[in-house]
């Protein structure tokens, strides 16, 4: 008599040969991309007498370098630079932010779709963000590096054996301890939690 356990084992064995051939290209890869970012400053601009609304869209660009260990798992290092010149902040100058992370990617591969080979993936990582600014009115500023986390997901389309196109949505968070101006001689130290929501496209090359 064939038990349920036996049937389950036979089913698992039967699909292994097919699973092993799906997106078997393992190894290192690099990528470069750009996108748009929705940035939430936790009241930082308002506290620093900003004349613009920083909770708005700007551009971001970056690159990745990683290694694909299996059909389902990769580890990658990423760098992203955020362009704040588009946020209309008149009273702040020299505003800049970069973030870099080490992330693990879990992928669900599909061998045949109407677009060809396709991966759906999610990622989670940690790293650091560097943030600097200077207030034009009083000449004070901050330059800080803090822990940062990234959570995201997207899709990866296989153009050929070496090139892929990614579309991705991710959320990056970090903290800033800033001295906000009360007047020309008085300042208040306050903690802010920044959040950057980024939608981007990336061209990836696998070696």
Q: How would you write the pLDDT of the chain (207 residues) with one tens digit per residue? A: 445 444 444 443 343 344 334 445 789 999 999 999 887 877 776 666 555 545 567 788 999 999 999 999 999 999 999 875 544 455 555 567 889 999 999 999 987 777 788 999 999 999 998 877 665 555 556 677 888 999 999 999 999 989 999 999 999 988 877 665 555 455 567 788 888 899 999 999 999
CA 103-121-170 angle, 5° bins:
60
pLDDT for res 49 = 55
* H helices, E strands: number in the chain: 2, 8
Pairing of strands 163-181, 27-40: unpaired
- CA–CA separation, 45 and 105 (whole Å): 34
pTM reported for the whole predicted model: 0.74
Architecture of domain 23-206 in CATH? Beta Barrel (2.40)
- CA–CA separation, 141 and 135 (whole Å): 6
Query: Which long-range contacts does 137-142 make (Cβ < 8 Å, 24+ apart)?
Result: 137/49, 137/91, 137/181, 138/181, 138/184, 140/179, 140/181, 140/187, 141/94, 142/176, 142/177, 142/178, 142/179
pLDDT for res 3 = 52
Q: Tokens 């929705």 label which residue?
A: 38
């Amino acid at each position: 008599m064939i038990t349920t356990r036996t049937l389950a084992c036979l089913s698992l064995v039967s699909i292994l040969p097919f699973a092993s051939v799906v997106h078997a290209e393992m190894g290192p890869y690099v990528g470069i991309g750009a996108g748009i970012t929705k940035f939430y400053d936790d009241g930082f601009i308002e506290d620093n007498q900003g004349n613009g609304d920083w909770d708005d869209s700007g551009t971001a660009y970056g690159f990745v370098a990683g290694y694909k260990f299996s059909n389902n798992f990769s580890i990658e290092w990423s760098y992203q630079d955020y362009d704040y010149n588009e946020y209309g902040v008149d009273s702040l100058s020299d505003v800049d932010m970069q973030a870099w992370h080490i992330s693990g990617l879990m992928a669900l591969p599909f061998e045949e779709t109407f677009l060809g080979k396709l991966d759906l993936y999610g990622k989670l990582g940690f790293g650091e963000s560097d943030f600097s600014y200077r207030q034009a009115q009083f000449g004070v500023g901050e330059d800080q590096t803090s822990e940062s986390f990234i959570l995201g997901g997207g899709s990866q389309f296989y153009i050929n054996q070496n090139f892929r196109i990614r579309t991705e949505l991710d959320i990056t968070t970090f903290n800033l301890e800033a001295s906000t101006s009360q007047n020309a001689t008085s300042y208040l130290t306050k903690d802010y939690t920044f959040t950057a929501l980024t939608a981007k496209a990336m061209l990836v090359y696998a070696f």
